[in-house]
Amino acid sequence: MTEPSGDVLLEITDLSLEFRTYRGPIKALNGVSLNVRAGEIVGIVGESGCGKSVTMMAATRLLPKGAAHITGGGIRLFGSDPMKLSERELQHVRGRQVSTIFQEPMNALNPTRRIGEQIVEVIRRHQRLDNAAATSKASGLLRDMLISEPERIMQAYPFELSGGMRQRVLIAMAFSCEPRLIIADEPTTALDVTVQALILGLIKHKATSTGTAVVFISHDMAVVSQLCDRLYVLYAGRVAEAGTTASVLAAPAHPYTRALIRCLPGLAPPKQPLEQIPGTLPDLLDPPAGCLFRARCREADDRCVSVPPLAAIEPARRAACWRRIEETQAA
Ligand SMILES: Nc1ncnc2c1ncn2[C@@H]1O[C@H](COP(=O)(O)OP(=O)(O)OP(=O)(O)O)[C@@H](O)[C@H]1O
């Protein structure tokens, strides 16, 4: 697969991971490979429980200690294995090189402290700036988020702001230390559609103007397709399909990707009724053999009793579907 050029910031290779629970191991990831290069916006998309968050939490070593076990493959984040970093090195990476934006900003902000203090503290923790310079930088970052009165917002407490405004504050904070990579985990899911569009535009503009790479996690194909250069479609802890957003949307190769697209107004073919994907994700405590999408797939046949590899189907495209792999081989 031809990849875009640029430094590889994150490389996940064949990563398998399980959670050991009293009911048995939950096989959350099964051979996931993905990479992110400097300056690109990469989407990870798939329905709830498919492993999007776990993949990126593993990459930044944010998974609960003791419960999550890597059983295969590896991760290189800025050239190092995050599992082997000391706590101090990890803090440096998390503060200076990678920032994360989560879905619920209220959980990430301290409810008892003013917004301004919190942004200034983050800036000063990682940059040698005095209070006045950090305050001025915070104000500029809020303006970049189209907050017209940053001084007033900096005086406010989190509960005084709307959800969309709080999320803009968190995005400003994420960019404040000039990281090379931002991980945005469903940052707009809790917001209404108009605010969502504004926030997506702000992330895209700021990332493009600063050259920051973004991994954008979402269950919403419409959202990732607006924002991302490349997509990884995850299903039940495996990559079902990967490629540039334009090529995936133009000719989705995996039946799961096609089903995700057919569910969405705006992306579905015109004049066809929107569809639902029947069934649910397989039980990851006891996954069935073969292709994990088989039970929900209207195109499944005898070949699908064995697991399809994630194979190159065209330049810069991979898919894990026997039908598509064999069509490619036959062509
Ligand atoms: N701490 C945990 N203990 C046990 N299982 C977990 C834990 N965290 C995640 N899982 C399981 O790992 C699988 C992947 O979860 P993950 O949160 O990555 O999904 P997701 O695609 O991000 O979905 P969502 O959008 O709902 O967050 C799921 O089956 C989930 O139940």
28-44: pLDDT as tens digits: 999 999 999 999 999 99
pLDDT category, 315, cuts 50, 70, 90? confident
**132 touches 125 (CB < 8 A):** no
Please tell me the distance between residue 323's alpha carbon and the centre of ligand 1 in angstroms: 29
Quote the CA–CA distance of 287 and 285 in Å, as a whole number. Answer: 6
The string of DSSP letters for 178-214 reads --SEEEEESTTTTS-HHHHHHHHHHHHHHHHHHT-EE
pLDDT at 5: 56
Task: Please determine, for residue 145, whether its predicted confidence score (pLDDT) is greater than 70.
Answer: yes
Quote the CA–CA distance of 176 and 120 in Å, as a whole number. Answer: 9
Please tell me the distance between residue 150's alpha carbon and the centre of ligand 1 in angstroms: 36
pLDDT at 2: 44
Give the closest residue (by CA) to ligand 1 atom 18: 51
Task: Please determine, for residue 193, whether its predicted confidence score (pLDDT) is greater than 90.
Answer: no
pLDDT in tens, 40-57: 999 999 999 999 999 999
Q: Please state, as a whole number, how many other Cβ atoms lie within 10 Å of the Cβ of residue 246.
A: 12
pLDDT at 272: 66
For β-strands 98-101 and 68-77, DSSP reports them as: unpaired
* Residue to mutate (ligand 1; options 53, 107, 188, 224; most atoms within 8 A of CB): 53
* Residue to mutate (ligand 1; options 22, 45, 54, 69; most atoms within 8 A of CB): 54
pLDDT at 160: 95
pLDDT at 189: 84
pLDDT at 66: 85
Task: Please determine, for residue 3, whether its predicted confidence score (pLDDT) is greater than 60.
Answer: no
pLDDT at 159: 94
Quote the CA–CA distance of 141 and 118 in Å, as a whole number. Answer: 13
Task: Please determine, for residue 281, whether its predicted confidence score (pLDDT) is greater than 60.
Answer: yes
CA distances from 105 to 41, 49, 52, 90 (A): 21, 21, 19, 23
Quote the CA–CA distance of 42 and 52 in Å, as a whole number. Answer: 12
Average pLDDT of the residues in 261-279:
70
**200 touches 226 (CB < 8 A):** yes
User: Which DSSP letter does residue 80 get?
Assistant: B
Give the closest residue (by CA) to ligand 1 atom 8: 54
Decide whether any atom of ligand 1 lies within 6 Å of the 49 Cβ.
yes
Which superfamily is assigned to 8-112+157-330 in CATH? P-loop containing nucleotide triphosphate hydrolases (3.40.50.300)
pLDDT at 255: 94
Q: What ipTM does this complex have?
A: 0.96
Give the closest residue (by CA) to ligand 1 atom 26: 48
pLDDT in tens, 240-255: 999 999 999 999 999 9
pLDDT category, 303, cuts 50, 70, 90? very high
Give the closest residue (by CA) to ligand 1 atom 17: 53
61: left (phi over 0), alpha (psi -120 to 50) or beta: left
Decide whether any atom of ligand 1 lies within 6 Å of the 285 Cβ.
no
The answer to which of 79-83, 104-108, 194-198, 271-275 has the lowest mean pLDDT is: 271-275
* Cα dihedral sign, 65-67-72-75: negative
**322 touches 308 (CB < 8 A):** yes
Decide whether any atom of ligand 1 lies within 6 Å of the 51 Cβ.
yes
Give the closest residue (by CA) to ligand 1 atom 29: 49
pLDDT in tens, 101-116: 988 777 889 999 999 9
Tell me the average pLDDT of the chain. 90
Q: Which two tokens stand for residue 3?
A: 């990849």
- Residue 239, CA atoms < 13 Å, CB-side half-sphere: 25
Please tell me the distance between residue 53's alpha carbon and the centre of ligand 1 in angstroms: 7
Please tell me the distance between residue 166's alpha carbon and the centre of ligand 1 in angstroms: 25
Please tell me the distance between residue 296's alpha carbon and the centre of ligand 1 in angstroms: 20
Please tell me the distance between residue 68's alpha carbon and the centre of ligand 1 in angstroms: 11
Decide whether any atom of ligand 1 lies within 6 Å of the 52 Cβ.
yes
User: Which DSSP letter does residue 97 get?
Assistant: I
Quote the CA–CA distance of 37 and 11 in Å, as a whole number. Answer: 9
